[in-house]
Each structure stands twice: as C-alpha cells, then as structure tokens.
Amino acid sequence: MPSNVPFKSRLPDLTNQIVETYQQIGSINHLGHTALPSREAIIQILFDLTEVLYPGYRRRQNLHLGNVVYHTGDLIDGVYDSLAEQIARALEHESRVSPPVDADGSAIDFLMPAQVRTFAFLETLPAMRQMLAADVQAAFDGDPAAKTLDEIIFCYPGLEAITVHRIAHELYRLQVPFIPRIMSEWSHSRTGIDIHPGAQIGPSFFIDHGTGVVIGETTVIERNVKLYQGVTLGALSFPKDAEGNIIRGAKRHPTIEEGVVIYANATVLGSNTVVGKNSVIGSSCAITQSVPPNTQVTMEKPQLRFREAS
C-alpha cells in the first residue's frame, strides 16, 4: 500500500474546513462558554451513590458496622463536592439558555444554589433506601427464578434502572437541569430500559427482564406495579399552542394504579388513560382508554393458518 504522507499533508486543510462549519452550524458546538456538566463525573457520582445505597455489594468488601460509617462518610463527602460542582455548571448553562427575566448582567453565584440542591438531594437517601428495599423485595416476590435478594441486587437490570431513576427523579424534582437526563440516558444505554426522570413511580416496583421498556415523563405509577419486557407507557398525542408549538410540561402519559400487572409488549398511551387498581393487561394489548379496576384485558387468541407449501 502506498505511503499515507500525501494524505496527511492534506489534513490541515481538511481541519480548516471542519472548523469553518463551527461558525456556519452553531447549534451543535459549545464554544466560548463555561464548562458543561461532565458526563464522566456524573457517571462516577452514580457509582458512588450506588455504593452508598447498597453498601458491601460492589467496590468495597468486608464492610461492617465498625467501618461503614467512615466508608459512607467519605463517599458522601466526595459526592457532595462533585455533585455541587456539576449542578452549578448545569444551572449556569440553564441561565445562558433561558436567562432570568430580571437579569441585569451582573455576575450570578451558581455554587450556593447548587450546594442547597445537593444537600437537599442527599437528605432523600435514607427514604430512597426504604423505597429500594421494597423494590428488591417486589422483584424477589414476583420472580420465581430469583433465589436470593443478593442475586437481584447483583444481577437484575430492572433494579439497576429503577435505582438510577430514583436518584435522577429526586434531582428532577429539585429542578436540577440537564443532569437527571444524563443519568437516565446512561442507564438506558446499559439496561435497555428507558425511564424519563420525571416519571413518578411508587414503591415495590418491579420490571421483569426489562429490555425495551419505555416510561414517559408524566407517567404516574402507584405502588406494587409489575411490568414485563417491551412495555410502553407513552403519549397518545402532543398538545400544541396556537402557533403549533408543543406545550411542554403538560401531562401526556398514563396513570397506572396500585397492583397492576402489564405483560410483555403491551402499550398504554394517553394522558387521560388510567389503568385501574389490580388490573392485568395482557401481552401485546394496545390501550388508549381507561381500564376499570380489577379488570383483565387480553387480545383475542390469534388463529394459525396452515397451507400446503408450493
């Protein structure tokens, strides 16, 4: 093969052509502004928080009541500093994208409100562990293949997805921009389960198998709900204003009441769609209207057709 030197001599010109597009297409580059949140730092925060929520299962072994206080305190201290920095970056980015109405051009201190949100988030961790303990128990109770609670904590992608969601949701609830979505999309890429951080999910929630599950932003899921793979809880339509722009923040997704089971590949759509308490939605059903409590919804059994092969 001939030497690549002639091609390398053309690389500076190619580089200039690429850089010219940075001026022509400004919507997909971030130049001349303060630093954005670091995806790598946020993922590390998730790893540290998971270590706090499930001590002894991952990086640090041989923990006991004599040393767990120091170990947890060290993690919490590091998370506080790192998360506050990332939230400050996110708030500054939000301020640039959507400036305050009364902005007068004076410098804004983003670190203090970031620290307030960070501490408020960390205060939710004890209650979050209670929720997650109920989720683990729901997985064990709902899956005869599970031998121990430890197996669920180590192995189940559904639990990993709901753990990240409960973290991201608290930050979303505290109006932290950007970061909850980074967390949820990272979890989506790892587990195949797509849960928007805005979704409200009660305790004792179990996703079995999990691949392909989609839960939209304004979904409400009450306690003791079980979903199987491929379930979509989505929007039927997007409300728009007089100019035809999507109205953001309006409820678009269904409400799933206590004790509901939704089997594989079922779809439940619409803001006004309520699946009533203790109902069962069968595989591959498409639901666009409310289901009364204690109702079983199934597809008519398909018929196989046989014909002689040509």
**4-35 pLDDT, tens digit each:** 568 889 999 999 999 999 999 988 998 887 88
**192-223 pLDDT, tens digit each:** 999 999 999 999 999 999 999 999 999 999 99
Domain interval for residue 81: 34-101+108-193
| Helices and strands in the chain, H and E counts | 9, 14
Q: Which of 140, 165, 193 is the endpoint of a domain?
A: 193
**Predicted structure pTM score:** 0.90
Same domain? For 52 and 135 the reply is yes
Does residue 233 lie in a domain region? yes
Of 97-111, 243-257, 260-274, give the range with the top mean pLDDT.
260-274
Pairing assessment for the beta strands 226-227 and 206-207 based on DSSP bridges: parallel
Q: Which of 193, 219, 252 is the endpoint of a domain?
A: 193
Answer yes or no: are the C-beta atoms of 303 and 285 closer than 8 Å.
no
**33-51 pLDDT, tens digit each:** 788 999 999 999 999 999 9
Q: Which residues contact 266 (CB under 8 A, 6 or more apart)?
A: 228, 230, 231, 232, 281, 282, 283, 284, 285, 286, 287
Same domain? For 86 and 138 the reply is yes
Q: Which of 162, 193, 224 is the endpoint of a domain?
A: 193
Same domain? For 187 and 203 the reply is no
The tokens for 200 are 């409200």
Same domain? For 237 and 262 the reply is yes
Instruction: Give the CATH number of the domain where residue 142 resides.
Output: 1.10.3130.10
Same domain? For 151 and 256 the reply is no
Number of domains within the chain: 2
Same domain? For 171 and 259 the reply is no
Does residue 214 lie in a domain region? yes
**160-170 pLDDT, tens digit each:** 999 999 999 99
Same domain? For 173 and 287 the reply is no
